[in-house]
Amino acid sequence: MSAPHPQADVRIPLTVLTGFLGSGKTTLLNRMVRDPAYADAAVIINEFGEIGVDHHLVRGVQGRIALIEGGCICCTASGGVADALRDLFMAAMRRQIRPFRHVLVETTGLAGPAPLLFTLRHDPFLAERYVYRGTIAVADAQHLPRQLEAQPEAAQQIALADAVAISKADLCAADQVERTREAVLGINPGAVVSVLRPGAELDESLLDARRQGRSDTLGQTTRWLGAFTRGRRAPHAGISHAVLDLPRPISRSAFLAGMDALQARYGEALLRVKGVVRFAGEAEPCAVHGVHRQLYPPEPLQRADNLAAPTRLVFILRGAQAQDLLPQAARLLGQEG
């Protein structure tokens, strides 16, 4: 008898849209809300005037909640994203707005997704109703290389992204667009990178939020991890990454304790940790994901035929050499020797 599949996650998927000031987030957001993939979405923004959602797309409904032409629900987050998420959910429960099947949260140009991830992890009301499904970052082909040298927030946004959309490619030469792609992959080799073209369809990676309740698969995660082991690109000067294989099984409790100590040691410098772990006594591998001091609950991975998943963690750090982290990580996770 085959093992039962993990119960489907019925929480509402939430995707973050980020990018440095002037990168083109507003332009991408306006394209996304016009796409049929987001017809049943809720979009959380800071201020209508600040974020610049096209005026003719928005019509008022009540208070901070409005409707966008094409079906999206738009909510200002002047009181905080957590309040907006609660208000949207309760408005749908009271049938003041129609139900929504995913949420897109646009951050300010100097912000990353870490505070939102912390809120989703620790607010019981939100944790029961919403689930983080990745970050999309917009990278400005005209200015990204200079931004990476001068603005640590720009590098952090790229490091935390699952998908990166290169903007303003139509204003640059092809070699400049390629240099931007290489800069992105130097920071985050596992990111899915696409180039935004006027009039062209959006890449599938930018529409991933529509996959309600999707679970990660063993193949997807293994490919992400493999991108960090091929060593084809030099890392960005301010960002480094290192890979730790875990040859020995580890209990959940030992893993959580070791990661807690490691994240406390490196704090904000530890931009991201992601990997696959096979816990002692458990048949199925789990995906693990963390940002800064936060480690999110391990999620069982779907089986992939004829695929042996490595038990491996990737660490992405800012302002520190990731290779220096490896001996500490191996010791704390019982993998020395």
105 — pLDDT class (breaks 50, 70, 90): confident
State the pLDDT at residue 313.
92
pLDDT for position 336: 78
Q: What is the pLDDT of residue 48?
A: 45
Confidence of residue 61 (pLDDT cuts 50, 70, 90): very low
The CATH-assigned architecture of domain 218-332 is: 2-Layer Sandwich (3.30)
DSSP label of 118: H
Confidence of residue 50 (pLDDT cuts 50, 70, 90): very low
Is residue 73 very low, low, confident or very high in pLDDT (cuts 50, 70, 90)? low
Average the pLDDT over each of 54-63, 80-89, 176-185 and give the range with the smallest value: 54-63
Q: Pick from 34-38, 58-62, 157-161, 218-222 the range whose average pLDDT is largest.
A: 157-161
pLDDT of residue 26: 78
List own/partner pairs for 146-155 with CB under 8 A and 24 or more apart: 147/20, 148/183, 148/187, 148/236, 148/238, 149/237, 149/238, 151/20, 152/238, 152/318, 152/319, 153/20, 153/110, 153/111, 153/112, 154/20, 155/187, 155/236, 155/238, 155/239, 155/318
**Across 58-62, 64-68, 223-227, 230-234, least confident range:** 58-62
Residues of CATH 3.40.50.300 domain(s) within the chain?
12-210
The amino acid present at 182, given as its one-letter code, is E
- pTM to 2 decimals? 0.80
Give the highest mean pLDDT range of 68-72, 77-81, 99-103: 99-103
Has residue 93 got a pLDDT over 90? yes
Identify which of 7-11, 27-31, 125-129, 147-151 has the greatest average pLDDT.
125-129
Per-residue pLDDT at 251 exceeds 50: yes
Q: How confident is the model at residue 284 (pLDDT cuts 50, 70, 90)?
A: confident
Neighbours of 60 (CB within 10 A): 11
Burial of 20 (0-12, 13-18, 19+ CB in 10 A): buried
pLDDT band of 197, cuts 50, 70, 90? very high
Q: Coil, helix or strand for 329?
A: helix
Q: What is the pLDDT of residue 260?
A: 94
Query: What are the φ and ψ backbone dihedral angles of 31, each rounded to 5 degrees?
Result: -70, -40
Q: Shortest CA distance to 214 belongs to which of 272, 113, 301?
A: 301
Residue 116 CB-density burial (10 A; 0-12 exposed, 13-18 middle, 19+ buried): buried
Q: Per DSSP, what are the bridge partners of residue 58? A: 68
% the chain with pLDDT above 90: 23
* Residue 8, H or E segment: none
Residues whose CB falls within 8 Å of the CB of residue 90, separated by 6 or more in sequence, listed in order: none
Q: 305: pLDDT confidence band, cut at 50, 70 and 90?
A: very low
- Distance of alpha carbon 40 from alpha carbon 24, whole angstroms: 23
- Outline which parts of the chain fall under CATH 3.30.1220.10: 218-332
Residue bearing tokens 């001996």:
327
> The domain 12-210: what is its CATH number?
3.40.50.300
pLDDT grade for 55, boundaries at 50, 70 and 90 = very low
**67: pLDDT strictly greater than 90:** no
Q: Is the pLDDT assigned to residue 57 strictly greater than 70?
A: no
**Please, which pLDDT band fits residue 209 given cuts at 50, 70 and 90?**
very low
Backbone angles phi, psi at 275, to 5 degrees: 175, -170
* Most confident among 91-95, 280-284, 310-314 (mean pLDDT): 91-95
pLDDT at 304 over 70: no
